[in-house]
Amino acid sequence: MNGFELNDDQQAARDAAREFAQKRLKPLAQSFDEEEAIGREVYKEAAELGFFGLSTPEQYGGLGLDMVAYACVMEEIARASASFQICLTVHNSLASGAIIRAGNDEQKKRFLPKMASGEWIGAYCLSEPGSGSDAGSLTTAAVLDGDHYVLNGTKAWVSSAGFADVFIVFVSTDRSKGGRGVSCLIVEKNLPGMTLGKKEKKMGVRGSDTREISFKDTRVPKANLLGVQDEGFKIALAILDSGRIGIAAQATGIAQAALDEALAYAKERKQFGKTLAEFQATQFKLADMALGVEASRLLTWRAAHVFGKGRATREASMAKLFASETANKVAFQAVQIHGGNGYIREFAVERYYRDARITEIYEGTSEIQRLVIARELLRG
């Protein structure tokens, strides 16, 4: 990235994602929503294009893209299907990202090549039924027993849970320490005592498979400890920056899609002998929507650029907060411009309106983002 321009690699990644998203995902996006599922063939096609190994180093079979290129890809995918994008962003930034950042050589060699190829899909397990924004208060526990950790507890809101192969699970290994007694384990699917809950019925991103996962005396090899025992919360905080950039890109993609639909509709729909686009009231709405989308994109690119150099907590939270709130505003106005048609499922803006809502909640609510930004500012 040079100034506000993408370099050749970033532009190529963006173009490849746009082509796949518009040709393959967009025509299917409504069916993903209605059927509350995405066909495995779509994941296979995305894997063949390298989308499951976007930021994974080339030595492990990934594309080794920088964070700006990653953000560009995530925006284009979300512009067509936020449901599919959430699987990709969780897999890349949170699941693979945790292993890239904290894994040892053996763990990287074992997991990353199959995750980069899409043979294994990753999921991320931090939240619990009683632990959301206050992630440090999680209660899922792991006790070391010989060469294994024994897990007991329940994780909530796990994206891709129904078909994931690798789960990054945060557990309490010393409750007396609170958040300083949290560890991170790589848990493989179908272990004894591991139970998947029912698929959640959600307002939006309905194609994404979201479930609870319960553990009852589930034995996980000690070799699957990620990083150092009792220091797992450091891993969670570190990779949340990349996760928030992924959601900022998702929100920007949803907002761009809503703006696209609103523009097209305003140029075609006539009332009182004029197209909606000829009315100043509509023009002002469109101008504000476009302004928000551009600002969201630039904040996201800036956060991605800073992340590539090191810590980007403030920038990631700013991008995530602004882009998610903008997505909700833009989707709202897109529905308004469509009038009654915006309220029925035949028009895509109805789905964008529902999909946008979650962007202010997961990967840290808007309230949490403001707390993070204020804390960073006060640090000086």
Alpha carbon distance 190, 165 (integer Å): 8
Q: What is the DSSP letter of 157?
A: E
Alpha carbon distance 129, 154 (integer Å): 7
Query: Of 76, 363, 367, 376, which residue is the catalytic one?
Result: 363
What tokens were used for 275? 């197209």
> Do residues 74 and 88 touch, judged by C-beta distance below 8 A?
yes
Chain-centre distance for alpha carbon 71: 11
Q: Give 171's Cβ-side CA count (13 Å radius).
A: 30
Listed in sequence order, the residues at least 6 apart from 334 whose beta carbon sits closer than 8 Å to its beta carbon are 258, 259, 261, 262, 289, 342, 349, 352, 353
What tokens were used for 337? 């411009």
Tokens 């150092």 locate to 228
Listed in sequence order, the residues at least 6 apart from 374 whose beta carbon sits closer than 8 Å to its beta carbon are none
Which residue type does 374 have?
A: A
Alpha carbon distance 276, 135 (integer Å): 47
What tokens were used for 203? 């307002």
268 assigned to active site:
no
- Give catalytic residue positions: 363
